Structure 1
Amino acid sequence: MTDSPLSRWERHNGAALAVASLLYLAAYAIRVLGHGLPEAIRDLCLAVTLAAWAVFLVDYVVRLRLSGQPLHRFLRTHWLDTLVLVLPLLRPVRVVQTYETVQRHHHEPLLSLHARVITYAGLSAGLLGFAASLTVYAYEHGAPGASIRTYGDSVWWACTTLSTVGYGDMAPVTPVGRLVAVGLMGCGLALLGAVTGSFSSWLLQIFAREGENPYPPETERPPGNSPGASGRTD
């Protein structure tokens, strides 16, 4: 593992960024759902979201400086970081990287590759669905002709969209809502493909192992073929 300034920065600030991501999502959720809260609390949540976004901006600038790359090359090689900075609601998805930070302190991964893929996909799906349901509800519940009127409607819509089921009983009508829907459809397809591919690969490995070793360890050889058996009967 390289020990460059950039890798050291990413290794030591992972927990802080994870906390900032969760605070951003929690403050945004309170502002969206807390219609009857006092204005002071809503203003505090707004201040928390702005402070968390400032932390993301500082991290992005520091990573740019430590990378030693020109801006255009950094944007091309770190396009996901740029997208997360522009759309901060995607930032909580990066919380799953905290697991990788923890694993660097161990010689072997705590989970197998297939288990990590499924874990990452599950966490990403949950966080993406929650963030998308908040955004769609914020723009849709008061729009003329909208079918998504309550947060429960928004959660149901996010689940059906992310799982690629798409019943069609609810659909966003605002430009922002439809843009979120397109992004959620793409993420749902990608996550479903990752989980399906990982599970299929795991099954193929199991079948291959069984083909190489058809007998359980305690009965490696069929009866009568153990070492020392002469095969003669008196």
Structure 2
Amino acid sequence: MIILAFLYWFRKRSMEGRGGQPKFLNDPTASGVRRYEDLPIDEHRGETDLPSFDLTTVVAATENFSSANMLGHGGFGMVYKGCLADGQEIAVKRLSRNSGQGIDEFKNEVMLIAKLQHRNLVRLLGCCIHKEEMMLIYEYMPNRSLDLCIFDKNGNSSLDWRKRFQIIIGIARGVLYLHQDSRLKIIHRDLKASNVLLDGSMNPKISDFGIARMFRDDQIEANTNKVVGT
């Protein structure tokens, strides 16, 4: 019983830091991840940290994570549509507590996409962290993902050649930015139709950087330790 109590205490302490945040966001040496305030200034927005949403705001925006607002799910967890008090629509990516890969993907996404800004990359608005609750807040994409438009019979009819070509060019511009034009050299590693989201004008935006990898400027190849992606 003493051992079990110690393990429970140790796990709780490792997951909670100041203000109920996970330890890796407070301890600069924990898991090799720095605090938000230690992140370099964003190259386009000039921000030094990632905005934080309180849990009450997110719960209200998603109507307590109503199943009617659920947009989809993946290895990370569930994604919900939400609406803030000012009318702004958001997408909330909620980490599943049973997800073995979720915490690593959360850290990776915070470290990478928070520093990137491009019209063909989905915009990360902030995060919500409260004890074991960990969520990423994104801009909402009303036309959902590209795979739904391609494989859905109703959606497929709206994709004429002009729109298809526009989507192809947009994805290519996003990838070019990641590989060459951004301050960081990023390889997505899971680029597929379901990870390309479409805004109201059917402009494509690459999403889901959970397993992306950062390369050195002079690096052109690398070996992975395990199979990842789809």
Structure-1-length-normalised TM-score = 0.22
Question: Which structure: greater strand fraction?
Answer: 2
Higher Cα radius of gyration: 1
